[in-house]
Amino acid sequence: MKLIKKFALSSKPTKYFYILIGAIIILFIMAYTHNNNIAYIVMFFIFSISLSSLIIGRINILKSQIEIKKNRIFANQPTKISIFVKKGKFINFNSTYTFPKRGYNILTIKLSSNYPLNLAIFYKEIKKEILVYPELKGVSLKNGFIKTENIDFDGLKNYNYDDIKFIHWASFAKGDLQVKKFSGDSENIQSLVFDINKLQGDKETKISQLALWCYEAYQKNLKFTLILDKKIESKKGFDEIFKRLALY
């Protein structure tokens, strides 16, 4: 993810800030009217604590740092993005985002914190450029190309973003995540061809349909060839295929 804007800071006083201001004003009036040194001392003590709290809170949000793990994000699909606070105390943020279009989008993360005394809420806005994969939409692969019913069990293989229903739980319990392999897997079925030029509809409809087929093919471990401007084999990998679709 590419950082396109370092950050933007802002703050908003809470009700406790105004209560504290009122208390300081009352103490000042009492101290001035009755020439009460104790009231002056209490007033300045509260004022110094409040000012220190605001300074510490601003420094806390200013120096806060987050780490965003790589996520596979699809258009028009709410995605919980893995965000970790590397530095900063009591940092809050939203982690679920929805992007309306494929390609490069701007992810705006708004951090907030009321540390340390909840006198003000400090905000820090971070913008990052992320790649959003196409929306998964259209006719399912099993309805358009293949049938996967009544196929035979053909051993185990390593997990690679396969459908959860194929997980071999006995191997998982032993610490080795594997999935069941069937006779309909890519080793035993003719390679599929997904050609954008043979689809009907506008460009986005075609891309969404291809994305759905590619996604399902990877889940079922089926080999395929994707044809956009040129042929791309499924062995290029999930992320490379979907990057091509996202940027087409």
| Pairwise CA distance, residues 37 & 18, whole Å | 24
| pLDDT given for residue 146 in this prediction | 53
- For 180-209, write each residue's pLDDT tens digit: 665 554 444 556 899 999 998 999 999 999
Binning pLDDT at 50, 70 and 90, where does residue 147 land? Answer: very low
Asked if 179 and 167 count as a contact pair (C-beta separation under 8 A), the reply is: yes
Which of 217, 55, 236 shows the shortest CA–CA distance to 142?
217
- For 154-181, write each residue's pLDDT tens digit: 667 776 655 555 666 676 667 777 766 6
Q: Report whether pLDDT(237) > 70.
A: yes
Which of helix, strand or coil describes residue 21?
Answer: helix
| pLDDT given for residue 145 in this prediction | 60
Q: Which residues contact 225 (CB under 8 A, 6 or more apart)?
A: 191, 192, 193, 194, 231, 232, 233, 234
Q: Report whether pLDDT(59) > 60.
A: yes
Q: What is the mean pLDDT of residues 25-39?
A: 91
Asked if 189 and 171 count as a contact pair (C-beta separation under 8 A), the reply is: no
| Pairwise CA distance, residues 44 & 50, whole Å | 10
Which of 207, 199, 160 shows the shortest CA–CA distance to 180?
160
170 vs 25, higher pLDDT: 25
Give me the residue spans of the domains in the chain.
2-132, 141-247
